[in-house]
Structure 1
Amino acid sequence: MVNERLDNVSFLRLKTQFENVGDALINRELLRKISSYSEIYIDTSKAPIHFSEDVINLSGYNGTVKHIKYGFVEVIYRSISISLKGQRVYYFFLPSGIGGEKSRLSFATGTMINCAYRFMALFGVNFVHLGASYSGLGRRASALLKSRLRLTKMHLVRDSGTVLHLEELRLRCDGLVPDMSFGLYAKEPKSMDKDAIAFSFRVDRGEQERNSVENFVDGIVAQCSDEHPLLFISQVRRDDAFMRHLAKKYGHRPDVQFLKAMSIEETFDKYGRASAIYSNRLHSLLMGAYMGAAPVPVVDNHKDRKIISIFGDIGLAENIVNVGDLPEKKPRLAYINRRLCFDANAKLDQAVQAVFH
C-alpha cells in the first residue's frame, strides 16, 4: 500500500471501555489502517497505560503515533493549528456499539461536545466514523447523533441491523463496512494445537441472563467428553467472577481452566487452543474465529441483535443458538469462511482509503 501520510493528520481520543480487550482490538486495527495514510495524534489522557500500549501497537506497520496528554482541549488546539497550516486534518470517532438512551446530564455534556466539534469544523477539521453499530437509541441519544452527523464526512456502520435502525430513526448512514476486527486478516494467525472447548460470557444484564447462560453451559458441558479440556475465558473484567465461578463448578473434570485475558495477544494465545468458542460477546467470537475456532453465538434475540446481524452478514447465521434453548445435542459447528474475511479486510482498506481521497 502506498504511503500517503505527508499531508494528512488524524486525531482520535481513547475514551472507551478500558476493561474490554475487544475494544482495544478494534481501536488498534483502526489505527493500523489509518497509519498508512496519515500521521496520528491520539488522546490517551484518560486511558490506563496498559490499554494505551495495547492499542498503540503498530509493529510491522507504517507510521508512528504522537500522544495527546492534556485531553480534549489539546485535541481542539492542535487540530485547528495544524489545519490552519494547510494540512488536511481528520477526527475519527471510535468504532463501538452504541445503544440506549442518554440521561439529561449526558445529553447536556454531549451537546457541549458537539458544539466543540462544530467549532473545529469551522477551521476545516473533517469528522469520520467507521465501524459503529447502534441499537435501541432513545430520543436524546438520537438527537445527539443527528447533530453530530451534520458534521461527519463519512459514516459507515458495521452491520445491516444498524442500517435498518438508522432508517427507522431517519438518521444518515453512508453504507456498510466490516467490523474493524477483520483487519486482523491482513496477517495469518500463528498455528496452535486445538483440543479444547472455550466459553466466554457476559451476564451483566440481569439475573435471568445469568441463569440462562449457566443452564446452557451445563447442557454443553454434559455433552463434552472428558478428553476435551474446558477453557473459561474472560476478556472483560466484569466477566471475571462469573467465568471463574463456572470453572470452579466444573472443576471435578480432568482439565478445566479459568483464563483471564489482559491484552490482545494474550487473548489470542488463550483462544488458540479452542476448536469451538461459545459466547455472547462479539469480539470473543470473532477473535476465537480468527484463531481457528468454530464460533457459536449464544444469544438473547432481543439483547444481542448486533451479534445476530453481524453473523448473518458473514454467512454464519446457522451457528447462532438461543440461550434459552437447552441443547439436546451440541449445535452443528461451521467455521468462518477465511476467504470472506480476507475480502472484509480489503473492504476496510478501501473504506479508509476513501476517507483520504
Structure 2
Amino acid sequence: MSLKTQYENLGDLVINAVLAAELNRRGRFLGISNGAPADYVDDFQALAEQLSGAPITCGELRQMAPRILQAAAGSGMTLVLSPGHNTLDQPTRTRQILSTATHYGLGRLRILQVGASFEGAFPETTRLYSQLRKAGHPLSVRDIISRNGFAERGINLPIVPDLAFGLQCSTHNEGDIGLIAVREHKSQPYEQLRKTVAAIAVAMHAVQLEPVMFFQVSLDAPLHARLAYDLGIRELNTGNHRPSFDEAMQVYARAGAIVSNRLHGLLVAAAAGALPLPLLHPEERKIRGALAEGELSGLIIEAEPECRKRTGELLARRSELHNRIVVPAFARCKQQLEDFFDGATG
C-alpha cells in the first residue's frame, strides 16, 4: 500500500492505519513510503502496530522491490488503494499501470479498495472500476451515494462501513468539556458559522460542559483561532500541526461530546468516549451516507444559528445516547469490516 495521503489530517492517518492493521493480521503487509514525510511514516507505523499487535514493514519502493517481485512470482500479491489518497483520478499514469497489469493478469495481482467515497467518478475511474469488478477484484465503497453513482454506470459495489469504525469504542462518557471542530463550508458565510458555533457553545454551557476548540486537521487551525477569539472560547491546540493519535485520544477521552463537520473527527472522538454530534449542511451527502451506514443519522444537527435547542437536547442525554447508539454502532460496523477483510483476503 502506498502511504500517500493528506499528511496533516489525523483522520487519514487513522483510517490508513486501521486498513494496514487489518491486512497485517491476515498476511504480510508492505507500506510504500515514497514521498511521505518521515514523521508521518513513524506515526503511521506506530499506530498500525498498536492496532494490529504485530510489526509493520514500511520503506521506499527500491527497498521493497525484491519482496514485491518475490510475491508477484510466487503466491501472488494485493495492491491496496489507500482511501486517504484517490490514486484513481491522479495521476493518469496510475490508472494506466493498474489497467495494464490487471488486463494481462501479471503476477496474480489483486486490487483491494476499501474506505473510498466518490461524489462522482471520472470516466477513467469508471472504466477501471468496471474492469476490476468484472475480474473479481475486492472493491467496495463506504456510502450509498458512492454506490448509487457507480450503479448508474453499471458497476455494482458493496458498501463497507468507514474504516474509523474499526477502532474499539469506549463506553466511558464522563468528560467535562465539549469539543467544537469545524471546517469552512462554501454555503455558510463566516458570520453565519460564528452564530451557529455561538449557539452550540451556549448549549454546552447549559449542560455543564466547557466549550473548547480542537482541530485534528491543520487546515482548520486559522478558522478555529478566529472563532475562539471572536467568541471567547478556549483553544486546546494551536499552531498548524495536527495532533498525534495519542494526543488526540487523550483530549477526546476528556470530552462529553464533540460537534463537528469532520467525519473522522467525529468517529475518532467517539471511539474515545465522546458523543459525536455531526453539524451538517444538507448538501454534505457523503458524510450523511457514511453516518447512515453506522445508523448514526439520528445524531445529526443541521448547521444553522437556530440549532441551540436540538444541540441542548442531545447533549443532555449524552451518556445514554453514546452507550445506546454509538457503542453498538461501532461493534456492528467493526464486524462488517472484519467480514469484508476475511472475504477479500481469502
What TM bracket, shorter-length normalisation?
A: 0.7 to 0.9
Of residues 235-244 and 322-331 in structure 1, the stretch that sits farther from structure 2 once superposed is 322-331
Q: Which runs of 5+ in 2 are unaligned?
A: 315-320
Write out per-residue CA displacement over residues 49-100 of structure 1, whole angstroms, 9 at most, x where no aligned residue: 22212221213634432223137xx76764333221x22311111134869x
How much has 1:306 moved relative to structure 2?
1.6
Give the paired residue count.
Answer: 331
Distance, in Å, in 2 between the alignment partners of 1:324 and 1:60 is 38
Q: Does 1:317 align with 2:305?
A: no
Q: Is 1:107–1:144's contact at 8 Å kept on the other side of the alignment?
A: no
Indicate the SS of the match to 1:133.
Answer: coil
Q: Does 1:179 align with 2:159?
A: no
Q: Is 1:44–1:52's contact at 8 Å kept on the other side of the alignment?
A: yes
1:257 paired residue number: 235
1:137 paired residue number: 121
Distance 1:207 1:314, change over 3 A: closer
Letter in 2 for 1:69: E
2:3 paired residue number: 14
Distance, in Å, in 2 between the alignment partners of 1:120 and 1:49 is 35
1:126 paired residue number: 110
2:218 paired residue number: 237
How much has 1:22 moved relative to structure 2?
0.2
Distance 1:65 1:98, change over 3 A: closer
Indicate the SS of the match to 2:195.
Answer: helix
TM-score in terms of structure 1 length = 0.82
2:263 paired residue number: 282
Distance 1:326 1:192, change over 3 A: closer
Write out per-residue CA displacement over residues 163-214 of structure 1, whole angstroms, 9 at most, x where no aligned residue: 22221232231x12221112112xx5495740111111111x5373544432
Distance, in Å, in 1 between the alignment partners of 2:272 and 2:181 is 15
How much has 1:119 moved relative to structure 2?
7.3
Q: Is 2:195–2:305's contact at 8 Å kept on the other side of the alignment?
A: no
1:6 paired residue number: none
Q: Is 2:83–2:114's contact at 8 Å kept on the other side of the alignment?
A: yes
Identify the structure with bigger relative contact order (alpha carbons < 8 Å, sequence gap 6+): 2
Write out per-residue CA displacement over residues 6-38 of structure 1, whole angstroms, 9 at most, x where no aligned residue: xxxxxx101111110000001111111111111
How much has 1:133 moved relative to structure 2?
1.6
Indicate the SS of the match to 2:309.
Answer: coil
Indicate the SS of the match to 2:205.
Answer: coil
1:93 paired residue number: 81
Q: Is 1:98–1:134's contact at 8 Å kept on the other side of the alignment?
A: no
Q: Is 1:93–1:128's contact at 8 Å kept on the other side of the alignment?
A: yes
Q: Is 2:72–2:109's contact at 8 Å kept on the other side of the alignment?
A: yes
Q: Is 2:18–2:51's contact at 8 Å kept on the other side of the alignment?
A: no
1:202 paired residue number: 183
Q: Does 1:66 align with 2:57?
A: yes
Distance, in Å, in 1 between the alignment partners of 2:131 and 2:189 is 35
RMSD: 2.9
Distance, in Å, in 1 between the alignment partners of 2:190 and 2:105 is 45
Distance, in Å, in 2 between the alignment partners of 1:77 and 1:288 is 40
Q: Is 1:314–1:340's contact at 8 Å kept on the other side of the alignment?
A: yes
Write out per-residue CA displacement over residues 267-316 of structure 1, whole angstroms, 9 at most, x where no aligned residue: 111122211111110011111211222211111221x2121112222222
Indicate the SS of the match to 1:295.
Answer: strand
Which structure dedicates a bigger proportion of its chain to strand? 1
Distance 1:170 1:312, change over 3 A: same
2:198 paired residue number: 218
Give the share of equivalent positions with the same residue, in percent: 22
How much has 1:147 moved relative to structure 2?
4.8
Distance, in Å, in 2 between the alignment partners of 1:36 and 1:313 is 25
Distance, in Å, in 2 between the alignment partners of 1:94 and 1:151 is 20
Distance 1:316 1:54, change over 3 A: same
Q: Is 2:176–2:255's contact at 8 Å kept on the other side of the alignment?
A: yes
Q: Is 1:131–1:158's contact at 8 Å kept on the other side of the alignment?
A: yes
Letter in 2 for 1:66: T
Distance 1:142 1:76, change over 3 A: farther
